[in-house]
A and B are shown apart, each in its own frame.
Chain A
């Protein structure tokens, strides 16, 4: 069995060897600047970028012209939101988003607020789902854009994008989606889903780090964003900077592989995920976070009550690479804001594990992970006075703790 077992695929995935292989020639031999329009080194690079653009577009049912390459989804989210805020300032200054978005969306929204926009942060239900009636009610004549993630990075909950876009369309509001976790994992079609702007990234779908894309709709309606990085006018003026050709080529290949293998990958990961989840949920006082049905096939988020999350991670991280929440905030010891937003108390939010499987995860690894997590949970509970009290039937919520 391969150790360590990597189950942090929502943070980043390994690059598929077939992707790396495709990239290598563009580092050393086909190294031209894609903007060099007057020699073959440049054309070869440009052709490779165009081909990758088609591969990326094909995965999400877009036109290649609607794809803007960026350095990652965070840049894409920034460009989409700030770009729309600037471009549509005459129409309005109100944005609607949710409290469980990725920091790239939330922090950008905070910047927009500082610059004079109004942002409504909608709370989600206990299962992570958005109440669409609340969403519709939040729309005002000043609303320009709704930003809702396609699938949540911590609990894997998938939003009903078609229904959300129908509401957006009805009110003439743009729909922007951070689809980092969904693209390549489940079928995403910008036209069927009615999405106007969508950010995603290569390194969450077996591609390289440092490259992402922003989809910007060109028809019905034609959407425009104001560039946030100016210079050579690359990417039709919407994103300047010499193109990361090998990265883009790798992204294209990764998209193609996902398009062709998505069904197989999903069948593989969901089978293993279900096995993992079924086994772990047999542990006493284990709680599944998020919606059981409406979610990504490779994700499971479970809280083990009365177990300290950090201790749990310490106990297993030698063998299993795993996070308790989003990588971007995992360095802090704060409990996950996503789980808190679902209404979990600190105890459950602190004791969660996020399992993210990949096309490379093996069954024996899952078996080992189940054993190790179970053993560690039981061991930690054995040492825990809280667990002892719980076992004695004391209602912990009613205890008034003395201040230290």
Chain B
């Protein structure tokens, strides 16, 4: 049976070169990096070399880069610390952020009585910058505040203007966290130029291993950890380091940054090709967003709600084609996508087609043909 994977925004396959880099740390170099003997020092060295690689690829200092177990942990750590030890009383965010941001903010609001503000969006899902900047201007100057806005939305692929938000935050002395899980490894990132204080990233979104994330904490800010007990990651994240995962993170990022232009061009070509073919073959199909600043690899489309479109994902899977209706993290939930719900009435079926370097035009042809057959 065919096996076509168009769900690269949920997770990606591990690049075999990344696995090759990791395997020695799963096999012979197994020392605990905190141990002082040779086996431990080999592991320690691998971690610090990886940190340097990641920091240089993302343009920050190695001392500002901390490894975690995933993007969710990074976001939780940063938001928790902002409230618990930096004393922030307000969070400004968007209703279509990842659940790691939304639910953590809500929990912090319940626990600490802080206020969470949600900015508005335009009809196409783009941030309403006027509203967001007004919120920052209104809340920021008089209250200790953190803004948490993702770099690119995981369902629609819309890329946010981080610089614009960052400048406003700077002006009003507001802290700024950006969930960059969808963009690290896929877009050029210069953390020092971006006016962000904190950022979250995850390796498995750019052909690295699952179970490995990272967070950037600007050197001028000192945070307390979320996980205590052991002093690893210079007291920012306790727990024996996942050495192979860290090595994999760095290797995957190095490869992704190296291949970025080529991969983005390839994905953009597939995306345009796919959209043109869908448009030609299905008259009811619409783009998930009319915004033209979207990730090259994410194509979000909307179909009218019918018994056939409702079953489309399942039917496609029977034909060996994997894609998703929204974010994987909540795809098991019956509630459906909170992003789509926010932007559209419920009577539509969203599909997210997300590409990677190994996808081909032939696979797109198969997808379009299958959708057409299934809906006819």
Contacts and interface: CB of A to CB of B under 8 A. Distances in A.
Interface of A: 4, 6, 8, 11-15, 17, 20, 23-24, 27-29, 31-33, 35-42, 70-75, 77-78, 102-108, 110-111, 201, 203, 208-211, 228-234, 240-247, 313, 317-318, 320-323, 327-331
Contacts of A29: 13
B31 interface: yes
Nearest to A226: B107
A318 B320 CA distance: 54
Interface string B58-71: 00000000001111
Contacts of A15: 26-27, 30
A242 B72 contact: yes
Nearest to A78: B227
Given A33-B328, A230-B100, A323-B36, A244 B7 contact: no
18 contacts: A4-B39, A20-B23, A27-B22, A29-B13, A33-B10, A38-B325, A39-B7, A40-B3, A40-B320, A74-B228, A102-B229, A104-B229, A208-B26, A228-B226, A240-B103, A242-B70, A244-B209, A320-B37
A328 B232 contact: yes
B14 A233 contact: no
A313 B333 CA distance: 54
Contact of A322 (B37, B72, B75, B76): B37
Interface stretch (B123-131, B238-246, B288-296, B364-372): B238-246
Contacts of A211: 211, 242
Say which size band chain B's interface belongs to: 35 or more
Given A4-B39, A23-B26, A318-B38, A74 B229 contact: yes
A40 B317 CA distance: 7
A329 B31 CA distance: 15
Contact of B76 (A32, A210, A230): A230
B107 A39 contact: no
A232 B38 contact: no
B330 A232 contact: yes
B186 interface: no
B213 to A, nearest CB: 8
Contact of A38 (B75, B243, B314): B314
B322 interface: yes
Contact of A321 (B40, B244, B313): B40
Given A209-B243, A233-B333, A241-B73, A32 B38 contact: no
B53 interface: no
Given A232-B329, A327-B34, A39 B322 contact: yes
B228 A210 contact: no
Which has the most chain B C-beta neighbours within 10 Å: A20, A35, A70?
Answer: A35
A105 B227 CA distance: 11
Contact of A8 (B39, B241, B333): B39
Contacts of B316: 39
A330 B72 contact: no
B37 to A, nearest CB: 4
B331 A35 contact: yes
Given A74-B238, A203-B240, 13 more contacts: A8-B31, A13-B30, A102-B229, A210-B242, A228-B226, A229-B226, A231-B99, A233-B103, A241-B72, A242-B202, A242-B210, A321-B40, A323-B36
Which of A39, A72, A209, A242 is packed against the most chain B CB atoms within 10 Å? A39
Given A78-B229, A241-B72, A329-B231, A12 B31 contact: yes
Contact of A71 (B11, B71, B73): B73
A72 to B, nearest CB: 4
A228 B230 CA distance: 18
Interface string B302-336: 00000000000110110011111101111111000
Contacts of B40: 8, 11, 321, 327
Interface of B: 3, 5, 7, 10-14, 16, 19, 22-23, 26-28, 30-32, 34-40, 68-73, 75-76, 98-100, 103-104, 106-107, 202, 204, 209-213, 226-232, 238-245, 313-314, 316-317, 320-325, 327-333
Contact of B238 (A35, A107, A331): A107
Contacts of A331: 34, 36
Contact of B14 (A12, A27, A234, A242): A27
A268 to B, nearest CB: 19
Contacts of B26: 15, 20, 23, 208
Contacts of A322: 37
Nearest to B104: A230
Counting from the closest, the 4 A-B pairs by CB-CB distance are A210-B242, A232-B329, A244-B211, A104-B229
Nearest to B77: A229
Contact of B317 (A39, A110, A246): A39
Contacts of A327: 32, 34-35, 40, 240
Nearest to B208: A27
Nearest to A37: B332
A158 B96 CA distance: 50
A12 B232 CA distance: 15
Contacts of B70: 71, 241-242, 244
A328 B34 contact: yes
B229 A317 contact: no
A228 B98 CA distance: 17
B27 A17 contact: yes
B331 A38 contact: yes
Contacts of A240: 72, 76, 99-100, 103, 329
A231 B100 CA distance: 4
B229 A321 contact: no
Nearest to B27: A20
B211 A317 contact: no
A321 B69 contact: no
A209 to B, nearest CB: 5
A14 B23 CA distance: 12
A209 B240 CA distance: 7
Nearest to A102: B229
In this complex, the member of B14, B75, B107, B229 whose beta carbon has the largest number of chain A beta carbons within 10 angstroms is B229
